Structure 1
Amino acid sequence: MKNWQIFLVFLLASYILFMSVKHHDPEYFSIHGIRYQVRIVNGFTNNSSLPLVIWCTSQDGDIGGRALQEGDDFSWDTRLSFWTSTPAFSCTMKWDRTRKKFEPFQVHRDTIKSGDSKKCLWLVKEGGFYFSNDEYNWVKDFSWS
Structure 2
Amino acid sequence: MRNSFFLVFVLILVPETCVKARPKNEFQVNVVNGISDNILIRCQSKDNDLGFHTLHVGDDFSWHFQTKLIGGTLFFCHFWWNSKDKSFNVFDETQWEDKCQYHEGSGPFRKCFWLVKPDGFYFSNYNAPFPTGWQKLIVLNFLKN
Same fold (TM over 0.5): yes
Unaligned runs of at least 5 residues, structure 2: 1-20, 104-109
User: 1:86, CA displacement in angstroms?
Assistant: 4.4
In structure 1, the partner of 2:12 is none
Work out whether 1:112 is the aligned partner of 2:87.
no
- Residue 44 of structure 1 deviates from its aligned partner by 0.6
Contact between 1:90 and 1:104, CA under 8 Å: does it hold in 2?
yes
Q: What one-letter code is carried by the residue in structure 1 that aligns with 2:111?
A: K
Query: Partners of 1:84 and 1:134 in 2: how far apart?
Result: 28
Structure 1 stretches of 5 or more lacking a match?
A: 1-17, 19-30
Alpha-carbon distance in 1 for matches of 2:84, 2:28 = 26
Name which of structure 1's ranges 61-70 and 121-130 shifts more when overlaid on structure 2: 61-70
Residue 80 of structure 1 and its aligned partner are, at CA, apart by: 2.6
Paired with 2:138 and 2:124, the residues of 1 have a C-alpha distance of: 13
8 A Cα contact 1:98 1:144, kept in partner: no
- 2:29 maps to which residue? 38
Please give the alpha-carbon distance, in whole angstroms, between the structure 2 residues aligned to 1:115 and 1:61. Answer: 23
Partner of 1:72: 59
Contact 2:75 2:89 in 1 (8 A): yes
Residues 42, 125 of structure 1: 8 Å contact kept:
yes
What is the Cα deviation at residue 115 of structure 1? 3.6
Asked whether the 8 Å contact 1:79–1:86 carries over to 2, the reply is: no
Distance 1:109 1:39 in 2: 16
2:106 aligns with none
Pairs within 5 Å for 1:1-145: 33-45=24-36, 47=37, 51-80=38-67, 83-117=69-103, 118-136=110-128, 137-145=133-141
Task: Give the TM-score normalised by structure 2.
Answer: 0.68
Higher normalized helix content (fraction of residues):
1
Larger Rg: 2
Cα RMSD after superposing both structures: 2.0
Deviation at 1:116, TM superposition (A): 4.1
